[in-house]
Structure 1
Amino acid sequence: MDRTISVSRRGLMAAGAGLAAGGLAMPAIAQGAPLRLGVMLPFSGTFAALGENILAAMEMYIAEKGGRLGGRQVQLIRLDDESNPANAVSNVNRLVGRDRAEALVGTVHSGVVMALVQIARERQIPLVIPNAGNASATGELCSTSIFRSSFSNWQPAYAAGLHLAKSGVKRAAWMSWDYAAGNEAGAGFRDGLRAGGAELVRSLLLPFPETNFQPLLAQIPGLNVEAVGSFYAGGGAVQFVREYAAAGLKDRFPLTGSGFLTEGTLQGQGAAAEGIKTALHYGDGLDNPKNNAFRPAFKQRTGRDADVYAVQGYDAAQILDIGLTATRGDAAADREIARAIRAARIDSPRGAFTLSTSHNPVQNMYLREVQGGENKVVGIAAEALADPGTGCRMS
């Protein structure tokens, strides 16, 4: 059983100091020694299903490579972070200290990932982020040792706004929780609208994780807008979509936004979600050779349908493999790893993508429409979209 030690939120902000003070050192590579890969994901709580799909797809890729990454046998060190920022520093200390991890993959929660980002920056330990979309990880805190296999919060929302503007919408509103992910997505939606010649009229925000949507929904008819963009996920997204339709707004003000609005939530949303268009880097029915092989293989291995989280996990392993292959398995050769990954064209189930100079995917954002309980890909909302990487000064 994984053991964690509770620390304060202030301790999380001081992650670097605590980790440095611990005197942790990376082990020398022994001839033929396995690669100690620390995988820090949620395996319990709200995001457990996301963590399990990310890990299962990673394991599938590693199995396809004969149990190796970069030519080295892989020893996976699995740690449940419980999506709890208070335990993040002690969990990272465990992985790079007692467990002597040479490379890291994690995590889902943007608050938890910051402890991983801090140690990767300070110790130049390769880190691949398989979900958390916070801008700072590939923005002002970017590093040669940090890579993302997922998205930035800005990307899918930008694509949704751009699609709206190109479809003829001139004025739109934004609804989300008032926290980092929602605000970063809101900025992307605004930028996408502007790029297409449209205007963001109003942002209607609710404190996270409150779900009293009615006062915000009541304002929409008086805003003189043609559509509404949004960023919600999980149970909040289920309730929001249902209440939006029940308020009689769905047909009057088409709802769109980041794909997480309808990703993994369609069963609970039911008919209220039908016809909603969102933007994301993966979707149902995506037809390419890699995805056509990936989906049945993942289903056979897990008994579950592949989703965007599985794709991000599979590609996290791919990214590590590319970098480590270039260094013959030397995880400490951070600059050589970074050069190889930046030069690569990654063959993904989402479609081939590259990484930007700030190490965030440059990828298609697909337009998806809910049809018969699936997020069917019906077009491309933004092709080869790169995150701005604001503040990134790669050393």
Structure 2
Amino acid sequence: MGFVPTRFAIGQQAKIKVGLLLSHGGAYAGPGIGVTNGIKLALAERGGKIAGREVEFVMVDDESNPAKGPENTHRLVTGEKVDFLVGPVHSGVAMGMVKVARETEVLTIIPNAGFNAATGPLCAKNIFRTSFSNWQANAPMGKVAIDRGYKNVVTITWKYAAGEEMINAFVDRFTDLGGKVVKQMALPFPDTEFQAHLTEIASLKPDAVYAFFAGSGGSKFIKDYAAVGLKSIPLLGPGFLTDGVLPDYAEAAEGILTTLHYADALDNPENHKFRAAYKAAYGKEADFYAVQGYDAGQLMAVGLDAAKGDAAAKAAIIAAMEKAEIKSPRGTFTLSKSHNPIQDVYLRQVKGGKEVVLGVAQKAVNDPGTGCKIA
């Protein structure tokens, strides 16, 4: 009788297949590139291998189209039979992706999409996040606004899942502390015709405006806001609003206050090392999307190292990932019971063309994970 190698012995010779479901074009192309670069950098630092196995990336454009989320996820999971699924940027796409991930039990890491349900009612043992929940990134600004004396605020965003959740997180905290929302405005995604809304904001004369837009939409909103003379009304938002706009729109962005779990200028060894390595590898500065991708790579390595490279040993991989302490450029973080990062949220302000860290808006912010029933 000849030698019959075990399943793992065969598997160990094969590459680990990582499916990347990310945006390649449109408003979220930049974030998609950042996540991709970040995860590839994390693995390059390990010689392109995890637990001795080479890594193969299979990339599918999510098209920022929620309707195609399940179909594109199945292309990677059932078609390509990837060992790990990483993505997406867009929260609407993520809703469809998560449903497929739950059904197929594929190991999944969300490196950006912040929709609350991923670590709430749609949580699962095999689904992790290395970014944020929409609640987590926005609620801390509610107290910041009150502390700065802003009593009447207008909000504006795109009318889709992420925008609504981000605005609601701010509004809930702000109004709980005594603030008043004068008006909530919303545009269809990805509309960037802001003029009529900006004219109305000028007539309402609020103490401040709280806005969520991202990518090229965020850049245009900041430019238009300044161009119509609204800079006398403080502009606040989650960090997605200003990340990626500097230095091109530095003058327009001057003074904008944001909260986020990362800032370029964070002074810690991991951030200095990461930013230098990213610049050397890609010839440009890293953004927080790249950090989230980088940490997705780190988390994946923690799991596979614990399983000695056996991608089929899901229980061992999940157990190691749940206990992980990730030394991130954002600061060290752990994971909540619902697999969302427990992390500091920083208060940042654009000053002199740079994103300056004013301090910590709220320490060790833990998303409540409402509705999550991971055993």
Q: 1:344-390: CA deviations, max 9, x gaps? A: 22100011111111111111111111122222222111211122222
The AA in structure 1 aligned to 2:148 is S
Q: TM-score, normalised by structure 1?
A: 0.86
The AA in structure 2 aligned to 1:78 is M
Equivalent residues in 2 for 1:357-376, closer than 5 Å: 357-376=337-356
Instruction: State the partner residue of 1:259.
Output: 239
2:225 alignment partner, one of 240, 244, 255? 244
Instruction: State the partner residue of 1:394.
Output: 374
Equivalents in 2 of 1:367, 1:155: separation in Å?
13
Q: 1:324-345: CA deviations, max 9, x gaps? A: 2222233344443333222222
Q: CA deviation at 1:193?
A: 1.6
1:107 aligns with 2:88: yes
The AA in structure 2 aligned to 1:163 is V
Q: 1:8-42: CA deviations, max 9, x gaps? A: xxxxxxxxxxxxxxxxxx99963443322212222
Instruction: State the partner residue of 2:298.
Output: 318
Aligned length: 369
Q: 1:113-164: CA deviations, max 9, x gaps? A: 2343122211211100111111222221110111111112222221222211
Unaligned runs of 5+ in 2: 1-6
Structure 1 runs (4+) deviating above 6 angstroms are 26-29
1:279 aligns with 2:254: no
CA RMSD of aligned residues (A): 2.4
Percent sequence identity over aligned pairs: 48
Contact 1:161–1:229 at 8 Å: present in 2 too? no
Q: TM-score, normalised by structure 2?
A: 0.90
Contact 1:158–1:191 at 8 Å: present in 2 too? yes
1:172 alignment partner, one of 128, 138, 153? 153
Equivalents in 1 of 2:27, 2:201: separation in Å?
30
Contact 1:27–1:100 at 8 Å: present in 2 too? no
Contact 1:232–1:260 at 8 Å: present in 2 too? yes
Equivalent residues in 2 for 1:1-395, closer than 5 Å: 30-194=11-175, 196-220=177-201, 223=204, 225-251=206-232, 253-395=233-375
Secondary structure in 2 aligned to 1:160? helix
Contact 1:127–1:145 at 8 Å: present in 2 too? yes
Instruction: State the partner residue of 1:22.
Output: none
After the TM superposition, which of the residue ranges 174-183 and 308-317 deviates more from structure 2?
A: 174-183
Secondary structure in 2 aligned to 1:347? coil
Q: CA deviation at 1:223?
A: 4.7
| Alignment CA distance shift 1:109-1:149 (3 Å) | same
After the TM superposition, which of the residue ranges 239-248 and 284-293 deviates more from structure 2?
A: 239-248
Equivalents in 2 of 1:211, 1:99: separation in Å?
36
Contact 1:166–1:196 at 8 Å: present in 2 too? no
After the TM superposition, which of the residue ranges 42-51 and 174-183 deviates more from structure 2?
A: 42-51
Equivalents in 1 of 2:21, 2:29: separation in Å?
12
| Alignment CA distance shift 1:38-1:223 (3 Å) | same
Q: CA deviation at 1:56?
A: 1.8
Secondary structure in 1 aligned to 2:258? strand
Unaligned runs of 5+ in 1: 1-25
Equivalents in 2 of 1:294, 1:365: separation in Å?
19
